[in-house]
Amino acid sequence: MKAGVIVESLGMSQRAMQITRSINKVPSLEEYWDIVLFYTQYDRILLSPHFAMMDVAEIYGFDGPIISTNLETSKIALGCKSATKKFFYVWDLEWTHKVFDIDELNKIYMNPEIKLIARSEEHASIIENCWKKPIAVIENFNHEKLTELISK
Amino acid sequence: MKIVTTFLNPRYSGIVNAVNSLFGGVTLFDSSTTPASDFFYKNKPDLMFVDEKIVNEHFLNAIEKLDTKIILFGNSVPEGLKPDLVCGEPSISPLMKKHLEREFNCIYILDYIDVDADLGGSRDEKLSSPTGILFLDNEINIPTLEFLVALSTKNKLKIVSDYNLSLPSFVGSLSYERRLDFLKSIDICIDLDGSQIIKNAANGVFTLSLMDNKLFPTINPENFQEQIDFYLQPSQSIKQKRDFITDTAKSSILSSTTNYHRLLDIINSLDFLSQFKEKTETKIQDIQK
């Protein structure tokens, strides 16, 4: 199985550390998984990645399921026609930090092409109230639960 | 009749919109882009709607020799101006009111809805929610914030605002037209300060307000949940009750509180505008239908 994860960068952030840590554990799974991480900005990497990394320009030929991790990368995922499934791991409640046009947010959060994944039960209930019900709650980008979900 | 309006306070723009919609040809004078002397040399209006804030020496000099009837919007009359009618706010101080009434022909413009701009919208499932708030203030105080937090922890709520409220129920901003869609998409609109009551009534949006009013039920910040739960019940009788309240509020506003009613108040105060009366009354009858 293969999957793509789109991030802004693997620079110094809790999100980048957790995602790297989680994808690094994928080879320990029984099933063989080929995970490719696509980044929009190249940055200094804090943890050694044990997976392929590519500039996001390469994603348009990627023909597996993809997981975006914020609004910007979700917009990129929407433009990726060859992806077989699209998931948005809602790491952050971005709409509460600055004012967005709701119609722009609806295009992502309410898009039938994108399935939302929440980080916690609390986030799931907030996301459901504002947009739509997440299909799963997966804490800390857990590699086992994520691979199980996208392989369904 | 040549009609000119100055760049107007939004509070009064609906009245000029009504004039323009019924009789057409209203020309805008924007003092920030056009010198008054040039404008009035080219345009010699018969009637002018003037905002008190734009009146200055240049403006007075430019209109000095014109035989223009003036309707002034504001709570005071600038020195040197002789308006035929002063349209003030009802909240004007009693002393100022007495002074104005002694010197000028005055009426007071009550709140109204602009039929051409404030009505409309349609339900959009993407904006739907059992409860919703349109928060238009640019500042939020602690009691309001506490109320919003309490409200959002107990209810499915969407808050629309142009200003970031840093609350999980805050979903972003919407254009003026889309706000009407939002109001039509929520089951109950919570009004925090009375500012939504007239517009919601005219649009048939069921509202619970923190302000005492004659159109919709009121709630208080300590005991709001019971009322919300009551009106959100799916039963047919509650739905009928909500529809009755909304329909009554709507017909009450459309029969007395539109920009055309305010225009008629002005027409009735000035004999030279009597030619406009019949058309305005017909429009008011059409709105009620």
Distance in angstroms (rounded) separating the CA atoms of residues B264 and B258: 10
Confidence of residue B34 (pLDDT cuts 50, 70, 90): confident
Domain range for A97 is 2-150
What is the spatial distance between Cα B189 and Cα B157, in angstroms, rounded to a whole number? 10
For B122-146, the pLDDT digits (tens) are 999 999 999 999 988 778 889 999 9
The Cα B118–Cα B175 span in angstroms is: 13
Is A99's CB within 8 Å of B157's CB? Answer: no
Evaluate if residue B254 carries a pLDDT over 80: yes
Q: Per residue in B166-183, pLDDT tens? A: 899 999 999 999 999 999
CB-CB under 8 Å, B160 with A129: no
- Measure the CA–CA gap between A131 and A50, rounded to whole angstroms: 35
How far apart are the C-alpha atoms of B180 and B165, rounded to whole Å? 20
Q: Do A102 and B161 touch (CB under 8 A)?
A: no
For range A123-138, the mean pLDDT: 96
In sign, the C-alpha dihedral spanning B44, B50, B56, B60 is positive
The three-state secondary structure class of B153 is helix
Q: Å from A131 to nearest chain B CA?
A: 8
How many domains, in total, are found in chain A?
A: 1
Distances (CA, A) of A21 to A8, B3, B179: 16, 71, 44
pLDDT at B136: 83
CB contact at 8 A, B15 and B109: yes
- Summarised one tens digit per residue, pLDDT across range B98-114 is 888 899 999 999 889 99
Q: How far is B14 from chain A (nearest CA, A)?
A: 27
Average pLDDT on B25-49 reads 89
Q: What's the pLDDT tens digit per position in A10-62?
A: 888 899 999 999 999 988 888 889 999 999 998 888 889 999 999 999 998 89
| pTM confidence score | 0.87
| CATH code of residue A37 | 3.40.50.2000
- Integer CA distances (angstroms), B60 to B52, B55, B79, in order: 12, 7, 9
Q: Which residues of B touch A126 (CB under 8 A)?
A: 168-169
CA distances from A109 to A94, B60, B69, B130 (A): 11, 56, 56, 19
- pLDDT band for A106, please (50, 70, 90 cuts): very high
CA distance A110 to B213: 37
Interface confidence: ipTM more than 0.90: no
Q: CB of B186 within 8 A of CB of B228? A: no
Contact B162 A95 (CB under 8 A): no
**Token representation of residue B269:** 């105060």
Q: How far is A124 from chain B (nearest CA, A)?
A: 11
The answer to whether B162 contacts A102, with C-beta atoms less than 8 Å apart, is no
Q: Is B203 on the interface with A (CB under 8 A)?
A: no
pLDDT tens-digit readout, B64-78: 888 899 999 988 999
Interface test with A, best of B171, B175, B176 (most A CBs within 10 A): B171
